[in-house]
Amino acid sequence: MTKPEHPVRLYDLDPDALRDQVAAWGQPAYRAGQLYQWLYQRLAIDPAEMSSLPAQLRALLAEEAQIELLAPAAENVSRDGHTTKTLFRLHDGQLIETVLMRYDRRNTVCISSQAGCAMGCTFCATAQMGLQRNLTPGEIVAQVLYFERWLRPITDPRSPVTGHRSRITNVVVMGMGEPLANYANLWQALRTLTDPAGFALGARKITVSTVGLIPGIDRFAEEDLQINLAVSLHAPNDALRATLVPIDRRYPIADLLAACRRYVARTHRRISFEYAMMAGINDSPGLAEELAARLQGLLCHVNLIPLNPVAGSPFQPSRREDVDAFVAILESRGIPTTLRVRRGIDIDAGCGQLRARVAQSTSIPLLS
Ligand code: SAH
Report the chain's mean pLDDT, rounded to a whole number. Answer: 90
CATH T-level fold of 68-189+346-368: TIM Barrel (3.20.20)
Burial 183-207 (b: 16+ CB within 10 A, else e): bebbbbbbbbbbbeebbebeeebbb
Catalytic residue among 97, 139, 148, 274: 97
Check pLDDT > 60 for residue 164.
no
Across 266-275, 280-289, 352-361, least confident range: 352-361
Residue nearest to atom 13 of ligand 1 (CA): 232
Residue nearest to atom 20 of ligand 1 (CA): 124
Check pLDDT > 80 for residue 1.
no
- The model carries a pTM of 0.92
Residues of the chain with CATH 3.20.20.70: 68-189+346-368
Confidence band for 364, pLDDT divided at 50, 70 and 90 = very low
Across 41-50, 63-72, 150-159, 189-198, least confident range: 150-159
Residue 165: per-residue pLDDT: 56
Check pLDDT > 60 for residue 347.
no
Residue 15: per-residue pLDDT: 97
- Report the atom number in ligand 1 closest to the C-alpha of 352: 19
The finding on whether 174 has its CB within 6 A of some atom of ligand 1 is yes
**312: Cα separation from own chain's centroid:** 25
- Report the atom number in ligand 1 closest to the C-alpha of 173: 3
pLDDT digits (tens, 9 = 90+) for 207-252: 999 999 999 999 999 999 999 999 999 999 999 999 999 999 999 9
Residue nearest to atom 9 of ligand 1 (CA): 174
Q: Which amino acid, one-letter code, is at 365?
A: P
324-330: average pLDDT: 97
End-to-end CA distance of the chain: 36
The finding on whether 124 has its CB within 6 A of some atom of ligand 1 is yes
CB 270 within 8 A of CB 302: no
CATH of span 8-66: 1.10.150.530
In this structure, how many other beta carbons lie within 10 angstroms of the beta carbon of residue 77?
Answer: 17
Residues of the chain with CATH 1.10.150.530: 8-66
274-296: average pLDDT: 98
Across 22-36, 187-201, 332-346, least confident range: 332-346
CA distance 260 to 271: 7
Evaluate the CA torsion angle 323, 280, 121, 213 in order and state its sign. Answer: positive
Q: How many residues does the chain have?
A: 368
Ligand 1 centre from 198 Cα, in Å?
29
Q: Please list, in sequence order, all residues whose beta carbon lies within 8 angstroms of the beta carbon of residue 86, skipping any fewer than 6 positions away.
A: 72, 74, 75, 76, 97, 98, 99, 100, 146
The finding on whether 121 has its CB within 6 A of some atom of ligand 1 is yes
Residue 350: per-residue pLDDT: 56
Check pLDDT > 70 for residue 365.
no
What H or E segment, with its residue span, contains residue 140? helix 137-151
Q: Ligand 1, residues 305, 315, 323: which to mutate, most atoms within 8 A of Cβ?
A: 305
pLDDT digits (tens, 9 = 90+) for 63-113: 999 999 999 999 998 888 889 999 999 999 999 999 999 988 899 999 999
CB 86 within 8 A of CB 98: yes
